Amino acid sequence: MSTLPTPGEEKAASRNFIEQIIDADLAAGKNAGRVHTRFPPEPNGYLHIGHAKSICLNCGLAQQFGGKFNLRFDDTNPAKEEQEYVDSIIGDVRWLGGDWEDRMFFASDYFEQLHDWAVALIKLSKAFVCDLTADQMREYRGTLVEPGKNSPFRERSIAENLDLFARMRAGEFPDGARTLRAKIDMAAPNINLRDPVMYRIKHAHHHRTGDKWCIYPSYDYTHGQSDSIEGITHSICTLEFENHRPLYNWFCRELGIHHPQQIEFARLNLTYTVMSKRKLLQLVTEKHVAGWDDPRMLTIGGLRRRGYTPEAIRAFCERIGVAKFNSTIDMAWLEDAIREDLNERAPRALAVMRPLKVVLTNLEPGEVREIEAANHPQKPELGTRTLPLTREIFIEQDDFMEEAPKKFFRLKPGGEVRLRNAGIILCNEVVKDAAGQITELHCTFDPDHSRKVKGTIHWVSATRGVSAEVRLYDHLFAAEYPEDVPEGQTFLDSINPNSLEMVTAWVEPGLAQAEPGCRFQFERLGYFCVDVVDSQSGKLVFNRTATLRDSWAKEKE
């Protein structure tokens, strides 16, 4: 995903702060020169573009330094986790190109070891069973500015703690009755160090361990040790875990086990969208979108269905960089990334979104001229295809103006324009209905290609083209920062009412055979893909992945 600067290069490629840390570790001989990272999702939802940043970072670092990359599920809370999410996450990470080889793990794989370590900490007097209720524990914890006070159960004997913990595991107590806590410091200014919970009682069915356990380890007690077991060297997570690092270190140190280094980076924020799982879920459950894979969603599934490529997403993640500053990336960068990729690889096609009929009066009814068209203007190796030109064709309504401004390079009465790949037409007559609406144009066709005309427009045969449903997507939110809302409003108030427009378009006949997932550039319009869910032969559905840049649209304003 990233590449090392080639030796001998004048100036070394700039390195982000994590690469610099690893450079220094390697130089110091840490971890015997190993680099081992991991992506540790909790299987409680679908992955989104923010996770892609983490996946690309972790996986890219491993690749760059000749190291390894694990996929590990942090499945310590059975109340929220499901196999369905595990499956979708595996598919998404793989689709993005993350390669964990044979190293897919689950924190639940380590439950027995984690339990044994907890017993060891009890024996060291570093952990105790606490009978405080959740409410009481909150009171004892103190506040951000006041120290907490010790639990009355903090000084239980090792024997009693061992007995109680065993009985917790054996299922003798109801949910919430007791916890196992680390014995650290109730006066610590970092609240995470105020005797944090290691185990809680939850009589819940776990998607992997079933009913084997009724006590479950907390994130803080699980994460670092799981990293340690896997031999992770650099445990990369997001900024909100900075306050947890001392705890991460405490467990590794007290247990005397391999001690990975936790490094925090800023999570991804994008304009015109929201990123939190909760809000994404709300969009789905309140039916503001059609589902988790709605092409307007920035979930990996949504992006995939929208027509994004893994390569584009990786290029995007590469370009945004990694730092500790809470930044917000302009959504246009994501769109640029897919345009850049698809411009290279997407075959060109002709399609008309809003048809205006044009009669080529010098062609016979029933006459079909075969027009050869290149599949890619810069890549002759992609070959050509044949387009049928007939007496009746469709052009885009936008490509004709009765009273055109001087810089309008398209068709106007008495004017000429080039039909992409075919020839030049001259507009002789504008036909209108009784209401004065333009119904069709009468033009004469000139197959001579040599003449220069200013404009070129796309077209589709009205008799040979096929119709298709085309879904034109725009940003899901109209506001650049949907979360910055006036008092009394929520992010939902800035939903863009026009984020989806459906049109019945006409596409060149060859597209009738396009397989679901196929991507094209509809010339002068944008990049489109055949929808993998709803498209069928005979009932084509295209999703607009991204528009092309349109300097004429700016000019008009």
The interface with RNA within residues 29-58 (CB under 7 A) comprises 42
Q: Under the criterion CB under 7 A, does residue 311 sit at the interface with RNA?
A: no
Residue 24 φ/ψ, nearest 5 degrees: -65, -40
Counting contacts by CB under 7 A, is residue 273 touching RNA?
no
Q: Judged by CB under 7 A, which of 8, 28, 286, 326 binds RNA?
A: 326
The yes or no reply on residue 343 touching RNA (CB under 7 A) is yes
**Which residue's CB is nearer to RNA, number 290 or number 548?**
548
386: contact with RNA by CB under 7 A? no
Instruction: Return the residues of window 524-543 that contact RNA according to CB under 7 A.
Output: 524
Based on the shown chain and the rule CB under 7 A, indicate whether residue 27 belongs to the binding site for RNA: no
Q: Annotated catalytic, 42?
A: yes
Please say whether the beta carbons of 216 and 203 come within 8 A: no
Q: Which of residues 477-516 bind RNA (CB under 7 A)?
A: none
Give, as one character, the DSSP assignment of residue 282. Answer: H
Could you tell me how many residues make up the chain? Answer: 557
Show the tokens assigned to 23: 């450079």
Among 51, 304, 418, 519, the residue binding RNA under the rule CB under 7 A is 418
Decide: is 396 part of the binding site for RNA (CB under 7 A): no
Q: Does 281 bind RNA (CB under 7 A)?
A: no
Place of tokens 């900024």: 239
Q: CA 93 to CA 520: how far, in whole Å? A: 25
* Radius of gyration, alpha carbons of the chain: 31
What's the CA gap between 6 and 13, in Å, rounded?
Answer: 9
- Catalytic residue at 240? no
**Least distance (Å) from RNA to the CB of residue 533?**
27
66 binding RNA? (CB under 7 A): no
Residues 422-441, interacting with RNA (CB under 7 A): 422-423
Question: What are residue 539's DSSP bridge partners?
Answer: 536
Residue found under tokens 């065993």: 166
477 bridge partner residues: 495
CA 207 to chain centroid:
25
Q: Find the binder of RNA among 325, 364, 435, 436 (CB under 7 A).
A: 325
The yes or no reply on residue 244 touching RNA (CB under 7 A) is yes
Task: Give me 234's structure tokens.
Answer: 């650099």
Query: Which position among 37, 233, 521, 545 is part of the footprint of RNA (CB under 7 A)?
Result: 521
Q: Which of 282, 456, 463, 467 binds RNA (CB under 7 A)?
A: 456
Quickly tell me which residue has 């190109």 as its tokens: 97
With CB under 7 A, what is the number of residues at the site for RNA? 93
Interface residue with RNA, options 64, 113, 150, 190 (CB under 7 A): 190
Report d(CA 517, CA 26) in Å as an integer.
43
Which span sits near RNA by CB under 7 A: 59-67, 339-347, 432-440, 500-508?
339-347
Is residue 88 near RNA by the rule CB under 7 A? no
Comparing C-alpha atoms, which of 269, 285, 233, 293 is closest to residue 532?
293
116-175: which residues touch RNA (CB under 7 A)? 132-134, 137-138, 141-145, 175
Number of Cβ within a 10 Å radius of residue 45: 20
Q: Are the C-beta atoms of 264 and 325 separated by less than 8 Å? A: no
Q: What's the closest the beta carbon of residue 407 comes to RNA, in angstroms? A: 4
Cβ at position 239, least distance to RNA in Å = 6
End-to-end CA distance of the chain, in Å? Answer: 40
Judged by CB under 7 A, does residue 179 bind RNA?
A: yes
Is 267 part of the annotated catalytic residue set? yes
* Given the residues 267, 345, 357, 369, the one annotated as active site: 267
Compute the distance between CA of residue 412 and CA of residue 396 in angstroms, rounded to an integer. Answer: 13
Cite the active site residues: 42, 267, 277
